[in-house]
Amino acid sequence: MLAQTKQFRKDQLSQVNPPKFEKAEDMADLTYLNEASVLHNLKQRYYAKLIYTKDFKKDQLQQVNPPKYEKAEDMSNLTYLNDASVLHNLKQRYYAQLIYTYSGLFCVAINPYKRFPVYTGRCAKLYRGKRRNEVPPHIFAISDGAYVNMLTNSENQSMLITGESGAGKTENTKKVIAYFATVGASTKKEKDESSQKKGSLEDQVVQTNPVLEAFGNAKTVRNDNSSRFGKFIRIHFGPSGKLAGADIETYLLEKARVISQQTLERSYHIFYQMMSGSVKGLKDICLLSNDVTDYYFVSQGKTTIPNVDDGEECLLTDVRT
């Protein structure tokens, strides 16, 4: 009898980790991280009955909060405030679809990557004039606090929305603008025909978002609507708290994206909106063909985004409509 042998190409062989990584607790520490090394490490730990257990030193352990603090709305009230308790509290609230949590003066938001019905006009009215402890944590509560302080103290107020890519900065900024437009809306009816065509001042402020996003947002690996620029927004109010206007400063646009994109990304939304053909005559005016791949600078990566209609987005961007 002859033993069966199988030959492998050199590129099919996986490199072996040094002996010091045998039964590694964290496979991210492996020198060579591949399918074979992962399988080998898991197998060796299984044979050694190291399935779920892990030993910790006493100084590595952090104290657990009493059950009454489960899903706490304000983490500054926790008896033990440490990394583990913060992570646990945010996780439990997220599982309960509570995406906003206070931490002292800050409001922590976790992007659920799906739409929740918590930004309606009715919801905005719920937070108007309420103290922070009278309503659940929300970006509207932070916005209303700034609005009330502005009127009470007659001083400018600032809100900083920060986070990593995909955290929801753009969406939360839009909700803040929409809230201020709602609470600062004028009760006077516009009589001027030209003003009626343009829409109310509140509508005009809110409608700046589609234009800014079209020219400054793009699909990235982590975010389908990633802002590739910074913006500083000022919203102006009159003495009575009515909306008086707004101005927006933009800076640090990622210019390289205009001519170069990675495989799973695409250039700025406006290029694909223009190619959609939803605005009659636009392609003729710009002398565009019907195929986006005719243009190398905008077709090096993806040209579409799942569940996004560039034609509909173009109609929102078109300020003439």
Q: Average pLDDT in the 98-117 region? A: 95
Here the CATH number for the domain that contains residue 274 is 1.10.10.820
- Rounded to whole angstroms, how far apart are CA atoms 264 and 25? 33
Q: Identify whether 204 is part of a domain.
A: no
Share of the chain above pLDDT 70, in %: 89
Residue 187 falls within a domain, yes or no? no
**Residue ranges making up the domain that contains 262:** 257-320
Indicate whether 44 belongs to any domain.
yes
Tokens of 298: 């905008």
What is the count of structural domains for the chain? 2
- Residue ending a domain, among 7, 25, 53, is 53
pLDDT confidence bin for 202, thresholds 50/70/90 = confident
Q: What is the mean pLDDT of the chain?
A: 89
pLDDT tens, 147-189? 999 999 999 999 999 999 889 999 999 999 999 999 998 655 5
Task: Note whether residue 172 is domain-resident.
Answer: no
Q: Give the integer Cα–Cα distance in Å for 22 and 72.
A: 41
Q: Is 6 part of a structural domain of the chain?
A: no
pLDDT digits (tens, 9 = 90+) for 23-41: 888 887 888 888 888 888 8
Between 105 and 12, where is the model more confident?
105
| Annotated binding-site members for ATP | 163-170
Residue 280 lies in a domain: yes
* pTM of model > 0.85: no
Within a domain: residue 176?
no
Can you say which residues are annotated as belonging to the binding site? 163-170
- Contact of 75 with 103, CB cutoff 8 Å: yes
What is the predicted pLDDT for the residue at 185? 86
Q: Kindly state whether residue 298 falls inside one of the protein's structural domains.
A: yes
116-139 average pLDDT score: 94
